[in-house]
Amino acid sequence: MEIALIPVQNCTVQYPPQTPCIIVGPSPEALRPWKERGFCVLVELTGLQSFVGTERELAERITAQTRRGFEGFDNVCIHADLLSEREKLLMWQHHLGEPGTIGESKRVLLRESTEDDAPVIRAIYEDPRCSPYLEPLTLPQISGLEGNAEEAYAEYLRLYRQYQYPFYGYGVWTVVLKESGCAIGWAGITAETHEEEDGLYLGYALLPECWGRGLMREACGLIFDFVREEELADRIYIRVQRDNLRSVRLAQVLRDESGDRDMKVIIQMISSRDI
């Protein structure tokens, strides 16, 4: 599907809301009438086009500015004319209330996470075979629902979906088994700094019953393709605990195969106390 970008000054009332297009303008005020009519809109932050700094600093500046004065406007960018077809499609899927699709292989689909994935994410983080190797999530405190872990995980995913994907363009996604349509884990990239290395770090986790089938290898391959196609980086870092032998083997396989995707993989071996 081709999603057209239409400058707000060129819009007329003849466009029906279901038109697969994104209306672009420099301010919420200019776009609000179109958003209220049900259109997908994009605020182009022209004031940041000359910003000098790292990608993380830019993303933080966008997020901070958006939260201050752009409530209700999920899509923001710096240069609309530099958006890829994938980015425009993701914006359109967000507009329709659908989780954006990152990619699919023979057996797995990688998509943005939703609140419905809470049971699977909780099962992974609370499974003793997985939890020793994962950084604990900081779950939100929900007034009146103290002790309701399921709701806390769902709210975490809702907030993540609201603030991560539209502003950063990437993050942690849900891995879905195509044969059944069921979520089986998560994988994704985050901007971090470790051992004085600033870059994109790959993380992944899978339900234990799905281990040993090469499914996460496929999902990570989709992430590498995404990073390359979106020109996010030419290298990806993986931090893995030395005693997590399955994860070590996967990281080594991904490193060995990365040359086929013009992507350098750097493995950082850590101990459990470094988490």
Residue 139 contacts by C-beta under 8 Å, 6 or more apart in sequence? Answer: 149, 152, 153, 155, 156
Mean pLDDT for the chain? Answer: 86
Q: What CA–CA distance (Å, rounded) separates 155 from 161?
A: 10
Q: Is the pTM value of this prediction over 0.95?
A: no
pLDDT band at 30 (very low <50, low <70, confident <90, very high): confident
Q: Which two tokens stand for residue 166?
A: 């539209």
pLDDT digits (tens, 9 = 90+) for 176-196: 999 999 999 999 999 998 878
**Cβ atoms of residues 125 and 136 within 8 Å:** yes
**Cβ atoms of residues 254 and 265 within 8 Å:** yes
What pLDDT, on the 0 to 100 scale, is given for residue 249? Answer: 96
What pLDDT, on the 0 to 100 scale, is given for residue 74? Answer: 64
Give 272's DSSP letter: G
Cα dihedral 115, 160, 86, 15 sign: positive
Give the max Cα distance, the chain. 62
**Cβ atoms of residues 94 and 165 within 8 Å:** yes
pLDDT digits (tens, 9 = 90+) for 77-94: 778 888 888 888 888 888
